[in-house]
């Protein structure tokens, strides 16, 4: 499963290369990414959610695009696995950030550095950059796909320009929740990541365009200790969360470090009956704060 996630990242970057340098829309590549995400969830949902944490070291736009699209897919499949709108919705979600790397050039040399106000203004129009690129290469996205790209921003949410069914706008509302939570739980432009509970609270308090009932639904599904998070236990142990129970409490982890013995190496899987060995669950922590890379699954 982890190899498939890394391949997803490579495929998405390859798709960007074709779009940016060869002026062709690599539909097969992008649809393959979408289908791989759906197949992975249907095959082994929890293993896929864990594997998504491997993308911590990837380029920011790649990590965010794949993780946000995957969590959107997961929520949509939980709601209705037979919906005919899912594939095109996921394509739009996967592409919604492609305008940012398309804008990298003389005016914006890199997406990694702190930007000037002028650069931020250019980047803010990244959806238009993507849609203009698509129009110039004469690829016609479906109405669902183009709507997801256009509306996957809080500032645009209430401006309906098409007659597309209300269901798609509900999908967009879900996507907005997923995107905001994902942004806050990862470092961006020098801003440190927030633990899940703090991210949820911030989205609830500051997300004026966020559907609060969908935020509650998100929390109910993924909990305060999401799969793929790094948890700290009272015994000084750090462990990747591999599974959670119905109450959202980790019941399967991979121990990778004991803070009392910083030079020691750990790689031990523990199930629910063995978790008492490492103490009580305290909190979700940021891996980089402890020099821990993406998990070896």
Question: For residue range 57-96, what is the model confidence (pLDDT) as tens digits?
Answer: 788 999 999 999 999 999 999 999 999 999 999 999 999 9
pLDDT higher than 90, residue 175: yes
DSSP state of 191: B
Higher-scoring residue by pLDDT: 233, 208: 233
Q: State which H helix or E strand residue 269 sits in.
A: strand 268-271
What pLDDT score does 272 carry? 94
Return the bridge partners of 254, or none.
240, 269
What pLDDT score does 112 carry? 77
Output the pTM of the full model.
0.93
- ∠ Cα 114 118 124 (to 5°): 80
Average pLDDT, the chain: 91
Higher-scoring residue by pLDDT: 286, 295: 286
14/37 Cα distance (integer angstroms)? 17
Higher-scoring residue by pLDDT: 139, 196: 196
The confidence band for 154, taking pLDDT boundaries of 50, 70 and 90, is: low
Return the bridge partners of 237, or none.
258
The confidence band for 158, taking pLDDT boundaries of 50, 70 and 90, is: low
């Amino acid at each position: 499963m982890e190899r498939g996630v890394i391949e997803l990242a490579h495929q998405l970057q390859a798709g960007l290369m074709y779009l940016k340098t060869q002026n062709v829309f690599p539909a097969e590549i992008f649809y393959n990414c979408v289908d791989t995400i759906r197949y992975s969830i249907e095959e082994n949902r929890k293993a896929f959610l864990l594997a998504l944490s491997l993308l911590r070291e990837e380029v920011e736009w790649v990590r965010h695009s794949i993780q946000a699209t995957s969590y959107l897919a997961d929520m949509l499949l939980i709601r209705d696995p037979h919906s005919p709108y899912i594939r095109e919705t996921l394509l739009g979600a996967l592409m919604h950030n492609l305008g940012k790397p398309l804008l990298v050039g003389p005016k914006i040399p890199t997406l990694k550095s702190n930007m000037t106000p002028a650069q931020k203004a250019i980047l803010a129009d990244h959806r238009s950059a993507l849609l203009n690129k698509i129009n110039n290469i004469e690829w016609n996205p479906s109405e669902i796909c183009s709507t997801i790209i256009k509306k996957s921003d809080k500032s645009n949410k209430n401006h309906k320009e098409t007659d597309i069914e209300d269901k798609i706008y509900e999908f967009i509302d879900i996507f907005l929740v997923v995107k905001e939570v994902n942004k806050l739980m990862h470092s961006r432009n020098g801003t440190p990541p927030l633990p899940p509970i703090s991210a949820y609270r911030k989205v609830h308090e500051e997300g004026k365009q966020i559907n609060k009932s969908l935020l509650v639904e998100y929390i109910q599904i993924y909990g305060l200790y999401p799969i793929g998070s790094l948890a700290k236990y009272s015994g000084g142990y750090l462990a990747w969360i591999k599974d959670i129970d119905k109450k959202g409490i980790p019941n399967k982890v991979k121990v990778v470090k004991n803070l009392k013995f910083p030079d020691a190496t750990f790689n031990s899987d523990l199930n629910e009956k063995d978790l008492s060995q490492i103490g009580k669950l305290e909190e979700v922590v940021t891996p980089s704060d402890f020099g821990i890379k993406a998990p070896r699954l």
